[in-house]
Every structure is written in C-alpha cells, then in structure tokens.
Amino acid sequence: MIAFLKLLARNRLALAGGIVLSLVVLLALITPLLPLAEPNVTNTAARFQKPFTEGALLGTDHLGRDLLSRLMWGTRLSLAVGFAAAVVAATLGAAIGIVAGFYGGRTDNLIMRGVDMLMAFPYILLALAIVAALGPGLFNALIAVAAVNVPFFARNIRGITVGIAHKEFVDAARLAGLSNTRIILTEILPNVIPVIVIAMSTTIGWMILETAGLSFLGLGSQPPQADLGSMLGEARSALITNPHTSVVPGIMILIIVMSINLLGDGVRDALDPRLKSGALSRPMAATLVNRKDPVPAAEGKGLLEVQDLQTQFHVKDRVYRAVGGVSLHVKPGECLGVIGESGSGKSVTALSVMGLVASPPGVITGGAVRYAGEDLIGAPYRKLREMRGRNVAYIFQDPLATLHPLYKVGDQLIEAIRAHRPISKSEGQARAIELLKAVRIPNAEKRITDYPHEMSGGMRQRVGIAMALANDPDIIIADEPTTALDVTVQAQILSLLDDLRRSRGLAIVFITHDFGVVGQLCDRVAVMYAGRIVEEGPTQSVLETPTHPYTARLMACVPELGEGKRRLEAIPGLPPVVDKLPEGCAFADRCDRVQADCRQGKIDLEREGARAVRCIHPVTPLKEAAE
C-alpha cells in the first residue's frame, strides 16, 4: 500500500489531481459545518448579483440565491451521486463479469448477449429512457447512470476473469476440492480487484458528467435542490447576460472531472505491475553509456574483442556491478564458452555487446567492445541497429518467448531478413525455406506456415537459430540456447551449431552453465563469477587441470555417465549480491581453500601462455597448468 502511494506520488499530474480532488471532497464533506447562506432561500430583489459583491462571494442566480452556497451543496450532491453510481455499476458489472467469465459456456453466452443488447443502445438515449420510465428525480438518475455503465464493467471484468479462470492456480484450487464460490471469492476476486479499481477510477468522472447531464436536462435533481448539472441548466437562459451563473458550476465540473481523470490515470499506472519495475519510463533504444576512464586501445585479438567491460545497474541509490571488468575475444570460426552460475553476469555481458541492456537501469560505465577493431560502445543507435542481426546475432534460451505467438515462423524469418535487406515476398519465402533446411528442420516447405506453438521445443530453437542466421552474421552470441531442451535435442542443436561454425566460419560466443556442453563445442572457455572472469583457457586444458577452485567445484557438479559411483558435489552457499561485493576474492566465502590474504586487496587475472586465473591459491599452479 505504501509502495503504491509512493509510486502514485511520483507521477506529478496524478499527485496534483489527487490533492485537488481531496480538497474538493473535503470541502463537500464539511459543507454543512460552514457558515454558508441557505442554498434554497430566494431573494428576487438581489438577483444576478456579480461575484465578489457584499454578502455573496460568487454572486447570486436568477432567483437571488447565493451561488457559493448552492455550489458547495451542489458539488456535495453531484459527487455523492456520481460516486454511488460508480460503486453500483462496478459491483453489479464485476459480479456479472466474474460469473460469466468463470462459468463460461452457455451461462457466459446468455449473460454476455444480454449485456451486448444493453450496449447496442446509444448510451444517453438508454439513460433517458430509463429515467423516463422511472420518472425524473436524482435517485432515478443515479439508477440510470449506473445501469448504462454496468455493461462496460461486465465486459471488462469478464475478459480478465476468462484469462484467470484457466490459470494453473485455479485448477489447483479445484483439485484441492474448493467450491466454486470459494474459488471465486479467494482466487479470482483478489486478482480482478485492481482491474475494478482501475476501471472505476477512470470512469467515475464520466459518470459525474452523465449525472450532471441528466440534471441539466431536468431529469435529475429537482428544483429547488441544486446539483452541478441543474445549476448549469437553470443558468442556461442567462448565459449571455449573466455568464457567471454558468461559469461557476462549469468550472467546478471541470475541476472535478479533470482531477479525477488525472488521479485515475495515475492509479492505473501505479497498479499495473508491468509498469512498476520500469517505473513508468520506456527503455532507451540502446544502453546508456557513461564512461569516465579512457577507452582501452585496440589489441586486435579477434573479430569481437571485449575489453574491460563494466556494466552496472543503477537502481535508486544502489549500484549493482553486474559486469565488473570483463575481457573476452573470439576469432572467426572459433567458439568461446562463457560459463558460470546463474547470476554471474553472463547475459548482461552478452547483451552489452550490442547495447541491448535495458536502460534505465543499465549503464555501461567502462571498457570497450570492438567489432573488427572499431569500438561499438556509445556508437549511434542507427549503427547499432544496422549491426544487430546482421553482424552480431543472438540466440536466446527460450524460443517460445522470443518468437511472436501470433505470426507464422516463416513470416517471422522473412521479417528478420527484410529488416536488413529489401527483398520480395517470394524471395523471402525461398530464403526462409533455405534457412529452415540449413538448421535441419524436416519438411521445411510445410513448416514455414506453422505457428510457434505448433512446434516442439527443439524445432523452435532451430527456428531461433535460423533467425540468427538469416542475415549471415559473423558472430553469434548464444545465451544458454540448450538449457530448456532435453539432452538428445541438446546434442543435436550443439552439433548443428558446430557444423554451422565450421561451414560458415562463424564466431560463436556460447553462454552456458554446463561444463558438459562446453566440452562438446567450445575451443576456449572463460569462467565467470560475480561479474568477473576468474579463469580462462583452451577447453581441453581447463578441463584437465582446472586452476581456480571455483572451476574445479563447477566441474565436480557435472554428472558423468558410466563413471561408476562418484559423489556429486554441490557448491554450498550462494554467489554474492553484486551491489556489495566483498573485498578481495568474491568466491572466498564459499571456497574450501580460502586463506586470510584472499580477503584483501584486488586480485588480478594472471596470465601464463593461453591460461589465465584470478586466484592466489590455485588448485594447480598456473605455470604447471599452462604447460
């Protein structure tokens, strides 16, 4: 609740709306206590007094009644009726919507067709008809306004309920033997209440306007009782000669409706969980760059050269050092494995290369990413966009999340190609089939018309790879592409990637947490821990003689078939949180070789030949391992 209010207060307009509305409501509440003139006492001798005259701050109307007093009492009435109508409409509408959405089938059909019929009438006409049938009067106007708004709530809430009623947690409640009523009250309702509140906060202003409209037409509040609508109605005949009688209630309506709508929008934004994390701001097209230190000079080590890359997340006053100075490089035709536990900064490193880390909160604070010698960090967005997919392509872990569920895979492939090259539809078609064949999807001609959900996980990941290949990139960054797949499919995907790199000379950066996978595919491997590289070297050499205790422990976690009984060793503890990294070695707390000097000062990455390690008490001395 506090968090919600904080979020709401951050939205200036909503805050202003909230303050104004609170003032108006407060005034309306204390109206009976204020020293105001009687609102309904006429005094024809003092009619049409201008505002700011003695004894009548806002002037008087055509019967000499005090406008300030009528305004206050009228506001009180209009707010009460509008609010009551909104509550009635929301309650009825939500109840109808939940029942229709939850039970579905015939119940749903029957209810929603009835609602549709109500919606088929023009809005105001329906309200007029209801008041005409019930007779004029404020209460009947309330009923009419509530009635015409019920369908809006019913439709809205039904849509949400249908979505929720098929979720797993509702099934679980059914399996637990809960009655339908209990499920509706304890599982469904809490999930739709935010939507009801949002719908209410954005329509309440509208309902106040409608009530005022009915009163304006003489169908709502009856003389001498004042509400804002009837005040406007009575002032109509004197609009030209004494405009203040119309302006006073008019401005009040404007203030009320504006403040309610501003607040309502703020409430909607604050309640929407998707907006909470991003704090109402759109991510930028490319990661923010704020480099203070000089950019390292090119060393020409490979096609892609990451030098001392530092990427941080600035969340409020905290700084998460997700990538704290990582250097990597790959040559054409080479596969570099990046391995580490979940949260070690592998994905952030990979995304930083093409400026894909979301900003805010992401900031690249140092280092360089060189493609063929040219630094890409801070490059103009146009350049990055041209290179994304064309020079450097990505494959992600979950193809179901990266493929658009509503487009056929063929169309998505064609779109990926056309993002960089203008080709005709039929050419695109042919190329898409070619790509699907290249990733060994059988019966490619037929499969291009499949939707992502019609394919198996392995096939989908092949489509993901085909999309990455669509523009013949030089580098593919694969971020755990096989983690969601079973071992047999994983092996197929790995051999496919291996073939592709050999036949096309691709450079691959392969991110994984599985040493087994690294052993099958990668020429070199870099081990990451807490945003840093802790060990690096040719795969074979690292597998045979790991030097960093972390690497050794990671390898002990890999089960081997047919190796007899070997105890699998889990690494106790968790990686450190990257906003307060310990001094010295980040692995010290979990390391079984830890000594006092591990926790002091900076520990550098030491190099010896092709091997490198960031440890002062390695498992095997680096010199020995490098031989």
Residues found near Mg ion in the complex (CB under 5 A): 347
> Token digits for 204?
């309440």
The one among 76, 346, 408, 553 contacting ligand ADP by CB under 6 A:
346
262 or 288: whose CB is closer to ligand ADP?
Answer: 288
Q: Which of 361, 367, 537, 549 is in the footprint of ligand ADP by CB under 6 A?
A: 361
Token representation of residue 91: 């309650």
> Which CB contacts under 8 angstroms, 24+ apart, belong to 575-584?
575/341, 575/343, 575/344, 575/529, 575/530, 576/530, 577/320, 578/320, 578/321, 578/322, 578/324, 578/343, 578/345, 578/530, 578/531, 579/318, 579/319, 579/320, 579/321, 581/321, 581/324, 581/530, 581/531
What's the CA gap between 334 and 367, in Å, rounded? 23
Least spacing, CB of residue 535 vs ligand ADP, in Å: 15
Residue 510 token pair: 């392969």
179 binds, among Mg ion, ligand ADP, none (CB under 5 to 8 A by kind): none
CB of 587 to ligand ADP, least distance (A): 15
343 touching ligand ADP, by CB under 6 A: yes
Sign of CA dihedral 546, 550, 552, 554: negative
- Residue 346 CB, shortest distance to Mg ion, in Å, is 5
Among the listed residues 112, 138, 578, 603, the single contact to ligand ADP using CB under 6 A: 578
Contacted entry of Mg ion, ligand ADP, none for residue 53, CB cut-off 5 to 8 Å set by kind: none
Burial 583-611 (b: 16+ CB within 10 A, else e): ebbbbbebbeebeeebeeeebeeeebeeb
Q: Which does 345 bind (CB under 5 to 8 A by kind): ligand ADP, Mg ion, none?
A: ligand ADP
Q: Which CB sits closer to ligand ADP, 208 or 348?
A: 348
Query: What single-letter amino acid sits at 498?
Result: D
In the bound state with Mg ion, the residue whose beta carbon lies nearer, of 351 and 469, is 351
Q: How far is the CB of 318 from ligand ADP (least distance, A)?
A: 8
Q: Which of 340, 355, 428, 464 binds ligand ADP (CB under 6 A)?
A: 340
**201 binds, options ligand ADP, Mg ion, none, Cβ within 5 to 8 A by partner type:** none
- Residue 355 as a binder of ligand ADP (CB under 6 A): the answer is no
Question: Is residue 347 within the footprint of ligand ADP (CB under 6 A)?
Answer: yes
What does the alpha-carbon distance between residue 415 and residue 389 come to, in Å, rounded to a whole number?
Answer: 12
Between helix 138-165 and helix 105-120 the angle, nearest 10°, is 140
For ligand ADP, the binding residues in 286-325 under the rule CB under 6 A are 313, 315, 320, 322
In the complex with Mg ion, the residue whose CB is nearer, 311 or 347, is: 347
Positive or negative torsion for Cα 487, 493, 496, 497:
negative
CA 304 to chain centre: 31
In whole angstroms, the minimum distance from the beta carbon of 153 to ligand ADP comes to 36
Of the pair 224, 343, the CB lying nearest ligand ADP is at 343
Residue 221 interacts with, from ligand ADP, Mg ion, none (CB under 5-8 Å by kind) = none
Cα–Cα nearest to 390, from 420, 410, 433: 420
- Residues of this chain that interact with ligand ADP (CB under 6 A) are 313, 315, 320, 322, 340, 342-348, 361, 578
